[in-house]
Amino acid sequence: MNSHYFSTVPDVSSAPHSLTYSAFDREWTVTVDSGVFSPSGLDKGTAVLLHKVPISDLEPGSVVADIGCGWGPITLALADTYPDARVVACDVNERAVALASKNCSDLGFSNVQVGLADDVVAQLRDEISRGVHSGIDVLWSNPPIRIGKDELHKLLLTWLGLLSPSGHAYMVVQKNLGADSLAKWIDAQGFPTEKIGSAKGFRILHVRKR
């Protein structure tokens, strides 16, 4: 697997094209591109997450998030599932951010903000400190396991630390890439973690605030 989609500026030429995929009992037509995660379609892990993730009962104006959004399949699902929520999505890859933003706009979702990861984290921290909201209420993610253990742990601690007091995170992780050991590590950091489902070699992890 190429690692260029972890770069802020991908090192491969842009080649945008359309594709159609099925999720949440509907068809989605989006724009994808080289240099981002899974440019050929919906990846297996994300498909498992979207099939297994429970839907939460949220108040209007709640904050829901997707970290490592790629071209936006989880972001789109969040926007569709929680139309009265504020959806925030991020990636380190500028091309992915542009694609996710375009796809949300093209499909008529106006409740979505997509940005580079560091910028979104800074904005959320500022809003929490000013009492604009209490943090992320629901987080869905297919996290970038292949960035390396240290970087992954740093990323997860950052985002789990932004959960609201009653917030929940749902993540899909491939079993043979360490899903069970990652669940134990997250739990040891003070975030109660449980496995709530599995399919096709992937685990769905449910993480709560301390």
**Residue of 185, 134, 140, 186 whose CA lies nearest to 162:** 134
The first and second tokens of residue 21, run together, are: 């995929």
Could you list the pLDDT tens digit for every one of the 210 residues in the chain?
444 566 677 778 999 999 999 998 899 999 999 999 999 999 999 999 999 999 999 999 999 999 999 999 999 999 999 999 999 999 999 999 999 999 999 999 999 999 999 999 999 999 999 999 999 999 999 999 988 999 999 999 999 999 999 999 999 999 999 999 999 999 999 999 999 999 999 999 999 997
Confirm whether 93 is domain-assigned: yes
**Residue of 70, 35, 50 whose CA lies nearest to 143:** 70
Q: Going by C-beta distance under 8 Å and a sequence separation of 6 or more, which residues neighbour residue 85?
A: 58, 60, 61, 62, 63, 64, 78, 111, 137, 138
Confirm whether 2 is domain-assigned: no
Number of compact structural domains in the chain: 1
**What pLDDT score was predicted for residue 4?**
57
Residue 58 CA from chain centroid, whole number: 18
Confirm whether 79 is domain-assigned: yes
Domain at 152, CATH number: 3.40.50.150
Confirm whether 70 is domain-assigned: yes
Confirm whether 1 is domain-assigned: no
Task: Report d(CA 91, CA 97) in Å as an integer.
Answer: 6
Confirm whether 62 is domain-assigned: yes
- Fill in the DSSP letter of residue 104: H
50: domain range?
A: 44-208
Confirm whether 15 is domain-assigned: no
Confirm whether 8 is domain-assigned: no
**What pLDDT score was predicted for residue 6?**
62
Task: Report d(CA 17, CA 15) in Å as an integer.
Answer: 7
